[in-house]
Amino acid sequence: ELAYLNGHYLPKNEAQISPMDRGFLFGDGIYEVIPCHNRKPIALQRHIDRLQRNLSAIGIKAGHDDSHWAGIIRTLAQESPTEHCGVYLHISRGTAAKRHHTYSDGLSPTQFAYSFQIPAPPSSANRPSMGLKLKSQEDLRWLHCDVKVTALLGNVLHYQYAVDEGFDEALLYRPSGKITEASASNVFCVKNGVIFTPALDNTLLPGITRGLVIDVLRDHSKITVLEQDLGLQDFLDADEVWLSSSTRELAPVTQIDERVIGNGEIGPMWARVIDLFQRHKYE
Ligand code: PDD
């Protein structure tokens, strides 16, 4: 299994970094996950744009242009043992001599990437056998969830709690009642033929899949998609609920807490949208 570390390709199990790396000590870094189908990255430029935005958001000056990152992602997808893979790309602030919260400008950021197998994309012909079950929870994460940072303990604990309770993922809401996202996906709901998703702000990640789904629908269908504030009740009363992420694409949800969504079956809007998405996602 091939990995990339600080300018070199090497077998993943030979990649080593210092325990003084600030990514290890403080979770001081950012990351991306880029889905690749048939060894081709999906929405590569959108992922690189977000990566560059996240680096500046936390003040890491990696000093590389887009083609540097694109080269690593394309190489790992090409060399992947599986046709369908995700490329994980992680940039931490670097290794310092002492553990201290504040950092100086002289650090050299640590760059690490590798690929891992993901399932073939779902389609109306290749349906998941069952919808997912979500456990609603108050969102206890920090207030910069719009930045894709490697400090994921909040997400980890929310996801683990959902799974320990017998569910597949979390559905998070702020104390205001506003639904944000799941612990590793964005969320959509459908009511009376209209598709809704939480509006972007600092409490959720601007998911690439979320953005692609919205753009494909606006460019290639007459279906209405609205980005607005939504509450748990909107999701419980919806006809359909979906998760979106680079590794899941669009995954249907058929239960939230003890409540069955719609008639408990994977819905017709999901089948329509997943077909449109598969046709246009490479644009
Ligand atoms: N997770 N929200 C959160 C908190 C996420 O971690 C992710 C992705 C998303 C969806 O974003 P995108 O469509 O760009 O993948 C939303 C990745 C896959 C992960 O952490 O593995």
Q: What is the pLDDT at residue 78?
A: 97
Best residue among 210, 245, 249 to mutate for probing ligand 1, ranked by most atoms within 8 Å of CB: 245
DSSP state string for 129-151: SS-EEEEEEE--S-S-TTS-BS-
Q: On the CB side of 215, how many CA atoms lie within 13 Å of its CA?
A: 14
Question: Are 138 and 266 found together in one domain?
Answer: yes
How many distinct structural domains can be found in the chain?
A: 2
Q: Which CATH number covers residue 41?
A: 3.30.470.10
Neighbours of 235 (CB within 10 A): 24
Question: 73 in a domain, yes or no?
Answer: yes
Question: Are 109 and 142 found together in one domain?
Answer: no
Question: Are 187 and 80 found together in one domain?
Answer: no
Which residue among 117, 150, 173 closes a domain?
A: 117
Return the ligand 1 atom nearest residue 209 CA.
13
Report CA 282 to chain centroid distance, whole Å: 18
Structure tokens at 89: 């790309």
Question: 125 in a domain, yes or no?
Answer: no
Question: Are 265 and 182 found together in one domain?
Answer: yes
pLDDT higher than threshold 80 for residue 82: yes
Question: Are 160 and 267 found together in one domain?
Answer: yes
Question: Are 106 and 196 found together in one domain?
Answer: no
pLDDT higher than threshold 80 for residue 282: no
Among the residues of the chain, which ranges form H helices?
22-26, 44-57, 66-79, 153-164, 208-220, 232-236, 268-280
Q: For ligand 1, is residue 256 a contact (CB within 6 Å)?
A: no
Question: 61 in a domain, yes or no?
Answer: yes
pTM tops 0.90, yes or no: yes
Using DSSP, state whether 111 is helix, strand or coil: strand
Report pLDDT digits (tens) over 127-169. Answer: 998 999 999 999 999 999 999 999 999 999 999 999 999 999 9
Domain that holds residue 149: 132-280
